């Protein structure tokens, strides 16, 4: 039997949850509330849905391999050139392309931990090494990450807001990091949740990009735009960097329905505004209720809330809530991450927590 290299054999693959329909069938429950994957509970823009329907009869044709119209629209909105935008099958794919383009197994990367699980997977998939710098109070230790840079460091990952904690690093911290990195190193800033950020001290990464820095800014239509099922994201970077990434980007990597929906979603400012409004209202409601229940939480700038320490083991609470039709994401033995849902979903969560936490361990 052919075996892959040891660094592939030792990868722990990402574990997706079961489909909601299957969980409902197994447990005999109905109308389960999924608060595990940081999806937009409002759903996609109605304009996006209509645009998808309009393109259904063209599915016998390959999609636009260059994403011409979507890149043109993003270019106009962001004030960058179309050649400074790269489209991906979600921002996940762009992380993987960047690693395979700019790193070898002899190189080194730096990332915070815990953070988005795809970062270490991408590094391990090429046999390279990564240093994980522990969070401080749920936030990236950017100074510690800069201290971890080695002579062979090629890449730093910054999730801002961070997943799973929902925290951000502010302007002064990010400036200090950028002042310490040289042009031989690529800073990947994952801004998957940036539409939700309310903090005025959130860094303007586009400013660093316009200065010509080696920066790859990743954004997505999966979260605030509600298009997670179509898997489409984009990156912003210097044209010469993206030209190298495009050499190994798969042809037709973003499908025609995803491109059409993203174009329509960009025009629906009201849907985006409402999505953010519902998130903010839900955040305030859950803050109050978690406080009432005695649950310590980390204030978030995203569409989920991280509870770092529970009075019962996290897998046990997950199972208990699951039987009540509420799905959350356990993070190890002590912590959980809970997506902010619609008002009725948030109320069901609180009712389930109140009932189960009252039972103790």
How do residues 33-48 score in pLDDT, each as one tens digit?
A: 999 999 999 999 999 9
Distance (Å, whole) CA 265 – CA 267:
5
Distance (Å, whole) CA 294 – CA 310:
10
Of residues 10 and 258, more confidently modeled:
258
- The answer to whether residues 44 and 234 touch, using CB atoms and an 8 Å cutoff, is no
> What distance lies between CA 196 and its chain's CA centroid?
12
- The answer to whether residues 70 and 263 touch, using CB atoms and an 8 Å cutoff, is yes
pLDDT tens digits along 89-106: 999 999 999 999 999 999
Find the range with the poorest average confidence among 19-23, 148-152, 267-271. Answer: 19-23
- The answer to whether residues 17 and 37 touch, using CB atoms and an 8 Å cutoff, is yes
Distance (Å, whole) CA 255 – CA 231:
9
pLDDT tens digits along 44-79: 999 999 999 999 999 999 999 999 999 999 999 999
As annotated, the residues of the chain forming the CATH 3.90.1150.10 domain(s) are 6-43+270-357
Range 289-296 average pLDDT = 96
**What pLDDT score was predicted for residue 170?**
98
Range 282-288 average pLDDT = 98
Length of the chain in residues, anyone? Answer: 361
**What pLDDT score was predicted for residue 183?**
87
**What pLDDT score was predicted for residue 361?**
41
User: Rg of the chain over CA atoms, in angstroms?
Assistant: 21
φ/ψ of residue 223, rounded to 5 = -100, -90
Range 283-308 average pLDDT = 98
Q: What percent of the chain has pLDDT over 70?
A: 96
Find the range with the poorest average confidence among 13-17, 95-99, 183-187, 232-236. Answer: 13-17
Burial 244-270 (b: 16+ CB within 10 A, else e): ebeeebeeebbbbbbbbbbbbbbebee
As annotated, the residues of the chain forming the CATH 3.40.640.10 domain(s) are 46-267
φ/ψ of residue 303, rounded to 5 = -110, 30
The CATH code belonging to domain 6-43+270-357 is: 3.90.1150.10
Q: What is the pTM of this model?
A: 0.95
Count of other CB atoms within 10 angstroms of residue 85: 21
Confidence of residue 359 (pLDDT cuts 50, 70, 90): low
Count of other CB atoms within 10 angstroms of residue 70: 24
Q: Is the pLDDT of residue 360 over 50?
A: no
What is the fold of 46-267?
Answer: 3.40.640
Cis peptide bond N-terminal to 114, omega within 30: yes
**What pLDDT score was predicted for residue 18?**
64
Mean pLDDT (the chain, rounded): 95
> What distance lies between CA 3 and its chain's CA centroid?
32
pLDDT tens digits along 192-244: 999 999 999 999 999 999 999 999 999 999 999 999 999 999 999 999 999 99
């Amino acid at each position: 039997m052919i075996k892959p290299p040891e660094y592939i054999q030792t990868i722990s693959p990402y574990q997706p949850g079961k489909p909601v329909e299957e969980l409902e069938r197994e447990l005999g429950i109905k109308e389960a509330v999924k608060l595990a994957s940081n999806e937009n509970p409002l759903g996609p823009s109605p304009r996006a849905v209509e645009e998808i329907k309009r393109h259904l009869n063209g599915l016998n044709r390959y999609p636009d391999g260059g994403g011409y119209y979507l890149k043109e629209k993003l270019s106009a909105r962001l004030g960058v050139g179309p050649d400074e935008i790269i489209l991906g099958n979600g921002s996940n794919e762009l992380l993987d392309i960047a690693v395979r383009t700019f790193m070898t197994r002899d190189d080194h990367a730096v990332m915070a931990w815990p953070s988005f699980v795809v970062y270490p997977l991408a590094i391990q998939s090429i046999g390279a090494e990564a240093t994980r710098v522990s969070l401080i109070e749920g936030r990236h230790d950017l100074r510690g990450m800069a201290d971890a840079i080695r002579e062979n460091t090629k890449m730093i990952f910054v999730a801002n807001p961070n997943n799973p904690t929902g925290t951000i690093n502010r302007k002064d911290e990010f400036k200090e990091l950028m002042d310490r990195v040289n042009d031989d190193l690529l800073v990947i800033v994952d801004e998957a949740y940036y539409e939700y950020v309310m903090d005025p001290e959130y860094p303007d990464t586009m400013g660093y990009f316009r200065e010509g820095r080696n920066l790859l800014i990743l954004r997505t239509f999966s979260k605030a735009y509600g298009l997670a099922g179509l898997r489409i994201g984009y990156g912003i970077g210097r044209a010469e960097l993206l030209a190298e990434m495009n050499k190994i980007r798969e042809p037709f990597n973003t499908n025609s329905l995803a491109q059409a929906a993203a174009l329509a979603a960009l025009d629906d400012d009201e849907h985006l505004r409402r999505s953010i409004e519902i998130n903010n209202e839900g955040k305030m409601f859950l803050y109050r209720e978690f406080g009432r229940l005695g649950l310590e939480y980390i204030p978030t700038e995203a569409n989920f809330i991280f509870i770092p320490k529970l009075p019962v083991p996290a897998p046990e609470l997950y199972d208990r809530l699951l039987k009540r039709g509420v799905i959350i994401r356990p993070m190890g033995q002590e912590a959980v991450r809970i997506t902010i849902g619609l008002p009725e979903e948030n109320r069901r969560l609180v009712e389930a927590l109140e009932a189960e936490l009252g039972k103790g361990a």
